[in-house]
Amino acid sequence: MIMQAKSMATPIRSVSNTEETQPRVSGGLYMVARQPILDQRGRIHAYKLRFRGATEQAEITPQMCPSMAETAAHFGLHKPSELKKLTGKMPAFVCCPTEALKNDLAQTLPATLTVLEIPGSLEMPPELIAVCQELKAVGFRFALDDFKWQAQFEPLLELADFVKVDIDLTSKDERRELFERVRGKPIGMLAKNIDTQAGYVRACEEGFALFEGYYFCEPVPVRNRRPPVSQILRIDILRALQQTPLEVHKVGPLVKRDGPLAYQLLRLANSPIWAVRKEIDSIEQALMIVGDDAFRRIATTAIASEFNGNQSPELLCMAMVRGRFCEVAGAKRNLDPFIQYLLGLLSLLPAMQGQPMKNIAPALPLGDEIREALLGTKNPERVLLGWLEKLECGDWAGCDASAETDGLNQHELAKTYVEAVAWTEVALHSGA
């Protein structure tokens, strides 16, 4: 009986994340993607990390656990500082099959930053319950994945910090009973695979507090919406940014009309980074000091923030990850880095604006190829964004197919993605 597990006097094992205890990394293909977990107000609560190990298989199975651990080690995620770069210092939800518990592979990741997802509808023998208790004692938290309450699973609820439920695979009565069972317990209820606004609304009405999925990327129609004057101005700035080099006499007057952007530019020009002895109070001087690349970065971030409006901040974060990824990867394919950055950054405009891309794209000051790429046409400009969209969903088979068709180096792209996430976290929280 698994109910006996709590009475077992099992000593707590030492949990160490030193380099000596980490799995050895082979030369296979390692990939990781993150998916946001949001609260009811659209704020980030945690990230689900999806790992692909050194295998050709597209789905995680118990036999893949060593490769899953190797993937974490490959990206250095056993180090808290590296894991924080990927999750913005938020907790990481990680799939942990029972095989990983048996082989101590859960210890690959930092305890206090990791939520281990274990199957919530499987009977676990006493020894595995004891292992989970030991892991909780050193800081790990647990989420019961796809949990459906049955009497024999009650001990699992005593371990749980979160319960994950797929509302498409459970009945309303099952969910109602589950809410009754966890009432009064310190357990967060999480609805998973929420990819539509309808699903989100339904989960909210039933009392779920956390949501995993891409529902926030689905456009919510806004009728008769006219773009505010500030957005029209920033479209003009966006047009000017595409000149190489920047024409200060054209950009300067536009920036002066945009108070927040002018403030950011002057603050950057007067920061210790540039070691300017005399205070800079001229927009033209500030543009000359910070240079084209730095100004393009703060301007495009400001433009994306304006477009995002009152939508979830995670939309802006995701758009910037896409932009940075396309910029860096595009340079290696002899594509214009800034145009690729714009493509990634603007790809989520429908969700930001509540309008279909076909209504938005014609007003954007972009070339025909990029405009077509935004509209979903598969062309050379859209290759990298298309691959990234598959990665975001953990569609490893789709990534493989794109790589084969378009001649992509997935080793480089996987590394570029992780670096793009880290860059975005710094950019959003440094104000630069």
Q: Are residues 55 and 200 in the same domain?
A: yes
Consecutive H or E run containing 46: strand 44-52
Q: For residue 400, what are the CA distances in angstroms to 19, 31, 49, 335, 359?
A: 31, 11, 19, 21, 32
Are 209 and 273 in the same domain? no
Q: Read off φ and ψ for residue 16, nearest 5 degrees.
A: -130, 140
Claim to verify: residue 258 and residue 168 sit in the same structural domain: no
**Which of 143, 133, 135, 132 is CA-nearest to residue 49?**
143
Q: Which of residues 167, 188, 217 is at a domain's end?
A: 217
Residue 87 belongs to domain with CATH number: 3.20.20.450
Asked if residue 12 belongs to a domain, the reply is no
6 lies in a domain? no
Question: What three-state secondary structure class fits 347?
Answer: coil
Rounded CA-CA distance 166/16 in Å is 34
On whether both 189 and 247 belong to a single domain, the answer is no
d(CA 70, CA 366): 42
Q: Are residues 57 and 100 in the same domain?
A: yes
- Nearest of 354, 390, 320 to residue 197 by alpha carbon: 354
Pairing of strands 114-119, 141-145: parallel
pLDDT of residue 7: 34
Choosing from 193, 217, 241, the residue where a domain stops is 217
Residues 260 and 406 occupy one common structural domain: yes
Locate 53 and state its tokens.
């190990």
Clarify whether residues 309 and 191 are in a common domain.
no
Task: Please tell me the predicted confidence (pLDDT) of residue 41.
Answer: 92
pLDDT attached to residue 21: 46
Q: Give the pLDDT confidence score for residue 12 in this predicted structure.
A: 37
Q: What confidence score (pLDDT) does residue 16 get?
A: 45
Domain stops at, among 194, 217, 240: 217
Kindly state whether residue 223 falls inside one of the protein's structural domains: no
CATH code of 354's domain: 1.10.3210.10
Report which secondary-structure segment, H or E, holds 390: helix 383-392
* Same domain (yes/no): 240, 366: yes
Q: Indicate whether 329 and 416 sit together in one domain.
A: yes
Residue 224 lies in a domain: no
Does residue 186 have a cis peptide bond before it, meaning omega lies within 30 degrees of 0?
Answer: no
Question: What is the token pair recorded at 303?
Answer: 């433009």
Determine if residue 394 is left, alpha or beta; phi over 0 gives left, psi from -120 to 50 gives alpha, anything else beta.
left
Residue 349 in tokens: 């405009």
In the prediction, which pLDDT does 61 show?
52
- Domain-embedded: residue 334: yes
The verdict on residue 147 lying in a domain is yes
Q: Which domain holds residue 97?
A: 28-217
Domain tally, the chain: 2
Alpha helix stretches (DSSP H) within 75-171: 80-87, 98-102, 126-137, 154-159
189 and 56 within one domain:
yes
Using alpha carbons, list the distances in angstroms from residue 222 to 134, 183, 233, 356: 51, 37, 21, 10
The pLDDT, as a whole number, for residue 20 is 43
**Which residues, in sequence order, are CB contacts of 58 under 8 Å at separation 6+?**
52, 395, 396, 397, 400
In a domain, 266, yes or no: yes
Report the pLDDT value the prediction gives residue 108, as an integer from 0 to 100: 82
Q: Which residues of 328-344 are buried (b: 16+ CB within 10 A; e: fewer)?
A: bbbeeeebbbbbbbbbb
Identify whether 8 is part of a domain: no
Tell me, yes or no, whether 210 and 237 share the same domain: no
185 shares a domain with 136: yes
Q: Which residues of the chain are under the pLDDT cut of 70?
A: 1-27, 53-68, 222-230, 430-432
pLDDT of residue 238: 84
pLDDT of 379: 94
